[in-house]
Each structure stands twice: as structure tokens, then as C-alpha cells.
A and B are shown apart, each in its own frame.
Chain A
Amino acid sequence: MVDIYVVPILKIVVLLSAVLLAVTYLTLLERKVIAWVQVRLGPMRVGPQGVLQPIADAVKLLLKEDITPSRADKWVFTLAPIVSMVPALIAFAVIPFGATVSMFGHPVSLYIADVNVGLLYIVSVTSIGVYGIILAGYSSNSKFPLLAGLRASAQLISYEIAVTMMLVSLVVVAGTLSMVGIVNAQLSQGVWYVFLQPVAFVILFIGGLAETNRAPFDLPEAEQELTGGFHTEYSGMRFALFFLAEYANMIVVSAVATTLFLGGWLRPFPNVHVLSFLGFVPGWIWFLLKTFVFIYVFIWIRATLPRYRYDQLMRLGWKVLIPLGIANLVVTAILKVLL
């Protein structure tokens, strides 16, 4: 009874609160990092070095008037932020944060579920998230959000194919769809897959940027073109949900990339015994470190690069990434058969 119900529920509660906290502080991290890139200080007023800023923001957004435009489709308008937030959160269910550890004398696995279609689960769950944007674009009954919704759906279709193609070639190498299985495969093969599948890694990263609507692919919310895109008409807590969903998605993509390509909770160079002293650092710390590196790069890119144009993004997706992905898949499959 305890093992079936209590432990998973505890894990879910712990994970959800950790994720929500991380997401909140990610907003501060992003503001700070971008500020440092831009020779500014970032938030400094709330708490020492501005560490309480996310709380102030949350309170502000909660207290703000929650406006629903009078001609909006109220029902869908309320649903949209929820739809974009929930998939981002439930995707965490299959992400392994570490190997099994011993806690209070019980072995506890640092993931909620290890389903044998874990990778596909993440892909499918994230593909649901785009409904939030599309529905928000439609229900606002405003033209800029509508354009954003159309952009989002077109963008999703162009990138999901390339990313899925990459995942397939990764699965060919790993021989399993389970997230835990993929990390274990990297352990047994003694190499991070980023070295075996560099093309896949790059494409997955670009696709990840596009799927999370981060710069330079933040077209659906392009502030300078569409005045904020799909969340133009949103305010208060519902806007905050969109905002948090974006950051939660960022963490999901970073965590997935870490699991698939950087060996998850494994220490660097798991096959080099000279480095085995690195094993004193617990696996989940390695995992969080690697994930953090990804998130940092996401923010860094946002501070550096201009934005792609809609048609250029589609061209990149269809004419570059998808052919590259197919070629990579074919080469991987051939090598797999030959070796």
C-alpha cells in the first residue's frame, strides 16, 4: 500500500513543488543573466540582490485585475493558460533525476514512473502544450493573438517532425524508449550520446528552442511584431500561467536533452576510471548541473540573437532540419546494422 500509493504521491508532491519553485526562480535567473549580458544589474530592490523578486512578481500578478476581453470566448480564454501549463508539468513524470538512492532505509527511485514508452510520452505530452497558444490566440478575439496562434501551429508542425526524427535515431542507438533505459544504455556503452549523435544533439537543441518558443524562434509571442502575440490580451494570474509554462517547458527540454545526450545522472566520462573520484557527487546533482547548463545557454541565446522571420523558420525546419534528420537516421540505422 505504502509503496503503491504513498511513495508516488509524495514524490509527485515534492517534484511539483520543486518544479514550481524552480520555474519561479528561473524568471529571476533569466532577468539576472540577461542583465549581466547587457551590463546592467537586473532586479536589485526586493531582498538582497533581488532574490525575493519572483515572490513580489507572483504577489503582484495574483493581485492584479484579471481582465477578460468582453468579446473573448470566455470559456476557451480561461482554458488556454491551463492547457499550456499542465502538459509542461506532467512531462516531468518520466524524467529520471537520478538513480535509485537509499532514503530512510528504503530504496527510492528518483523518478515518478519508468514507462517503457517514456520518450514518446514526453513527445506526445509536449505536443499537447501548443493547444494553449493556439486556443489563446483564437479566444482572445484579437488579431495579433490570432496571427500568433497561426504561427504557433505552423511552427509546431515544422519542428516536431525534425525533433521526433532525432529521437528515433537516438532510440536506434539506445535500443529502448524508456528514459531510465536510455541513461543505463549510455552507462553500459560507456559514452554520452552527444558524442555518438552530435547532429541529433544540435537539431534537438534547435528544435527545443523552437518548441519552447524561445528566442530566436519566439515568433508566437514576438513582442515587437505581434505586441506579445498570444498573451496580448491576458493579464494577472492567467498571464503568469503562460509565463510559467514557458519556463517549465524550458526545464523539460533541458532535462530531456540532458537525459538523452549528456548521460542524465551519470558523471562525466562514465567509462574513464581515472575520473571515478567524481562519483562522490550524487547523481542528481550532476543531472541538475547539466540541466542548468542547458537553461543557461537558452538564456544566453535569447540575449544574443535577433529573431528569425516566420518564413525563414519554416524554411529552416522543412528544408534543413528534416532532411538532415532523415539523413542522420538513415546513417545511424546503417551503422547500427553494420557494427
Chain B
Amino acid sequence: MFESILFYTLAAFILGFGVLVVTARNTVHCVVFLVANFLCVAMIYVMLGAEFLAIIQVLVYAGGIVVLYLFVVMLVNLKRGPDAAPDRRRQSRVGFVLAAVMLAEISAILVYSAARPASAVAAAAATPLQTVGNTEVVGMLLYTDYLIPFEVASMLLLVAMIGAILLAKKEI
């Protein structure tokens, strides 16, 4: 019961903030809504038992990446606001088509899930329930089975860092 209320509230917030991100006129408002959206998503992660992921979401996404967005928005907003000129070739109609597709998809999932009880999927769970803390498990996986992807990710970040410096510097 409590879980349901929490989920529906959070889902409403996530989707509401998502709509605002996509529709807001002012870019800074978009960023603020994005942060709110991310925080709600972090709570969803907590509900799903992924505390570490939730913290990473807040720390890296909301606290790091979006600060970067805000930084850039403030830098480029100095002279003039976001373009208010009317659309020329934007496919805003595509958006509505997509919305319709999404509606269809959701209703399909709902119909499908109603036809097939959830317990069938739950029974398919193979591995036993974790008893130790979530952080330890994730850490263990990251540094053993997924060590190579982990290193690749760190290389990717390094490359991205160098690339960003090169792009942002006026002359090298």
C-alpha cells in the first residue's frame, strides 16, 4: 500500500518534471526541472533496492553533470536568451505522433501484463536473494567480473576530459 502510493507519487513527479523539461521555455528552468526529475528517479532507485545507484545518481548526475549544464547555460545566456523564433522546419508533428505511439505502447504493456500475471516473471528469478549490502555487491561485481568494462569506462572518461579541454580552450 505504502509502496504503491510512493511509486505513483514518484512516477507522477518524474513524468511531470519530464514534461516540464521538454516544454519549458527558459533553459535554466529546464535544468532545474531536470535536477528535480533526477532526484525523483534516485528515489525510485532506492525503492528498487539500489541505494548505491541512487547515490551515484544524485552525486554524479544531479551534483556533477547537471552543474555542468547549468554552467554552460549561464555562459551562453549572457548575451541573449534562448531563441524564441518560430519553428521553421521542426517536426513538431512528429512529437505528437510519437506521443501517440507511446500511448499505444503503454496500453499494450498494460493489456499484456493484465493477461499474464506478474508472478510468472517473478518465478523466473534465477539467482538467490542478496543478503549483504547493495554497495558491496555492486563493488564486487565492478571490480571482478566487470573489471575490463570498468577500465574502459575510465579510459572513456579520460578521453572525454582531454577532449573537453581541447574543445573549450581557445588556443592550445
Contact = CB atoms under 8 A, between A and B. Distances in A.
A and B touch in the complex (CB under 8 A): yes
Interface of A: 73, 75-76, 79, 115-117, 120-121, 123-125, 127-128, 130-131, 134-135, 137-139, 146, 149-150, 153-154, 156-157, 160, 177
A190 B14 CA distance: 46
B23 to A, nearest CB: 15
B51 A117 contact: yes
Nearest to A129: B63
A124 B55 contact: yes
B150 interface: no
The CB with the most chain A CB atoms within 10 A, among B52, B64, B67, B75, is that of B67
B32 A76 contact: yes
Interface string B140-168: 00000000000000000000000000000
Given A124-B58, A124-B59, A134 B51 contact: no
A174 to B, nearest CB: 13
The contact size tier of chain B is 20 to 34
B135 A127 contact: no
A125 B57 CA distance: 11
B28 A123 contact: no
Interface of B: 26, 28-29, 32, 35, 39, 51-52, 55, 58-59, 62-64, 67, 70-71, 74-75, 77-78, 133-135
B97 to A, nearest CB: 32
B55 A121 contact: yes
A121 B58 CA distance: 9
Given A76-B32, A117-B52, A153-B67, A138 B135 contact: no
Contact of B71 (A121, A150, A160): A150
Shortest Cβ-Cβ A-B pairs, 3 listed:
A127-B63, A124-B59, A124-B58
Nearest to B61: A124
A117 B133 CA distance: 9
Given A79-B32, A138-B74, A150-B74, A130 B133 contact: no
A73 B55 contact: no
A163 to B, nearest CB: 12
Nearest to B26: A73
30 contacts: A75-B29, A79-B32, A116-B51, A116-B134, A120-B55, A120-B59, A121-B55, A123-B59, A124-B58, A124-B59, A124-B63, A125-B58, A127-B63, A128-B35, A128-B39, A128-B62, A130-B63, A134-B74, A135-B70, A137-B74, A139-B28, A149-B74, A150-B71, A150-B74, A153-B67, A153-B71, A154-B71, A157-B64, A157-B67, A160-B63
Contacts of B35: 128, 131
A120 B45 CA distance: 15
A320 B28 CA distance: 33
A123 B56 CA distance: 10
A127 B64 contact: yes
Given A116-B51, A124-B58, A130 B67 contact: yes
Contacts of A127: 58-59, 62-64
B51 A115 contact: yes
